Amino acid sequence: MKIKIIGIGSYIPQKEVKNTDFDKHVFLNEDGTPFGYPNETVIKKFKGITGIENRRYAEDQHITSDLAFFAAEKAIANANIDKETLDYIIFAHNFGDVKSGTIQSDMIPSLATRVKNKLDIKNPKCVAYDILFGCPGWIEGVLQANAFIKSGMAKRVLVIGAETLSRVVDDHDRDSMIYSDGAGASILEASTDEAGLLSYESATFANDEANFLFFGKSYNPDLDPDVKYIKMYGRKIYEFALSNVPMAMKECLDKSGIGIDEVKKILIHQANEKMDEAIIDRFYKLYDKTAPRDIMPMSIHDLGNSSVATVPTLYDLLIQGKLENHEISKGDVVIFASVGAGMNINAFVYRH
Residue ranges making up the domain that contains 173: 3-193
- Which of 141, 30, 12 is CA-nearest to residue 71? 12
Residues 321 and 202 in one domain: yes
- Which of 187, 155, 149, 180 is CA-nearest to residue 72? 187
224: exposed, middle or buried (Cβ count in 10 Å: 0-12, 13-18, 19+): exposed
Tell me the per-residue pLDDT of 109-147, one tens digit each, with 9 for 90 and over.
Answer: 999 999 999 999 999 999 999 999 999 999 999 999 999
Residues 145 and 30 in one domain: yes
The domain spanning residue 202 has which CATH number? 3.40.47.10
Q: Measured between alpha carbons, how far is 170 from 126 in angstroms, rounded to an integer?
A: 38
What is the total count of domains within the chain?
A: 2
Residues 162 and 206 in one domain: no
pLDDT tens, N- to C-terminus, the chain (352 residues) = 899 999 999 999 999 999 999 998 999 999 999 988 899 999 999 999 999 999 999 999 999 999 999 999 999 999 999 999 999 999 999 999 999 999 899 999 999 999 999 999 999 999 999 999 999 999 999 999 999 999 999 999 999 999 999 999 999 999 999 999 999 999 999 988 889 999 999 999 999 999 999 999 999 999 999 999 999 999 999 999 999 999 999 999 999 999 999 999 999 999 999 999 999 999 999 999 999 989 999 999 999 999 999 999 999 999 999 998 999 999 999 999 999 999 999 999 999 9
Please provide residue 265's backbone torsions phi and psi, each rounded to the nearest 5 degrees. Answer: -145, 150
295: exposed, middle or buried (Cβ count in 10 Å: 0-12, 13-18, 19+): middle
Q: What is the DSSP string of 306-342?
A: -GGGHHHHHHHHHHTT-STT----TT-EEEEEEEETT
Q: Measured between alpha carbons, how far is 245 from 58 in angstroms, rounded to an integer?
A: 30
Residues 161 and 235 in one domain: no
Residues 107 and 212 in one domain: no
Q: Measured between alpha carbons, how far is 251 from 254 in angstroms, rounded to an integer?
A: 5
